Each structure stands twice: as structure tokens, then as C-alpha cells.
């Protein structure tokens, strides 16, 4: 599984419509409206690296109202759940 985090800037009037359009794309698991320099953050979860390109280039980047995108590929996942499970091994 490959996870990519996509930072998205939109035209001011288009944030909601863009978010809904992105959320409807296959491979996009979540879309967040955020504060700061960005307008949206999308999480893309797909089977292969080539699929990231398809979702971002052929999907997200074609949506009207998007000004720019910046994509980051996740190397490793750290979460409270994963860390708790790792430290609980052999405690039973």
C-alpha cells in the first residue's frame, strides 16, 4: 500500500466543490479542509506508486478550481495504534 499526502490550494470560491470532487475520486481516502497556506489536504491510498500518479495527475489536478498541488509520498506510518501494538507483543 502506498500513501501520498497531497497539499492543495484552490480558488477562494471553489474550496467546497473541489473538496467534494476530490473525495469522490477512487484512491482518495480522506480530504481535509485546513487552515494556513493550504486549503485542502487529501490522503491518497493506492496499491502501487504508479497509481499515485494516476490519482493525482489524471484525477486531482484536472479538477476545476485547483490552483496548485504538492504531493508527498509517505515512507513509513507511525500511529498510536501501531506503537501500542508493537510494545504489547509478548505481554500476554
Q: What is the pLDDT of residue 77?
A: 80
Q: Estimate to the nearest angstrom the gap between the alpha carbon of 46 and the chain centroid.
A: 10
On whether the CB atoms of residues 18 and 65 are closer than 8 A, the answer is yes
Asked whether the beta carbons of 23 and 31 are under 8 A apart, the reply is yes
Angstrom distance (rounded) from CA 2 to CA 43 = 10
pLDDT at 90 over 80: no
- Over residues 24-53, the pLDDT tens digits come to 999 999 999 999 999 999 999 999 999 999
pLDDT in tens, 61-86: 999 999 999 999 999 888 766 555 55
* Fold of the 2-87 domain: Alpha-Beta Plaits (3.30.70)
CA–CA separation, 86 vs 40, rounded Å? 32
Q: What is the pLDDT of residue 79?
A: 73
Distance CA 22, CA 20 (A): 5
What pLDDT is stored for residue 88 in this prediction?
54
Q: Which residues of 65-85 are buried (b: 16+ CB within 10 A; e: fewer)?
A: bbeebebeeeeeeeeeeeeee
Domain extents for the chain?
A: 2-87
Please determine, for residue 92, whether its predicted confidence score (pLDDT) is greater than 60: no
Amino acid at each position: 500500500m502506498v500513501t501520498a499526502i497531497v497539499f492543495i490550494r484552490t480558488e477562494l470560491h471553489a474550496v467546497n466543490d473541489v473538496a467534494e470532487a476530490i473525495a469522490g475520486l477512487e484512491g482518495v481516502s480522506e480530504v481535509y479542509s485546513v487552515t494556513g497556506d493550504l486549503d485542502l489536504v487529501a490522503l491518497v491510498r493506492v496499491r502501487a506508486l504508479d497509481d499515485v500518479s494516476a490519482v493525482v495527475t489524471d484525477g486531482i489536478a484536472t479538477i476545476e478550481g485547483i490552483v496548485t498541488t504538492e504531493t508527498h509520498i509517505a515512507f513509513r506510518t507511525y500511529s498510536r495504534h501501531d506503537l501500542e501494538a508493537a510494545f504489547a507483543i509478548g505481554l500476554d
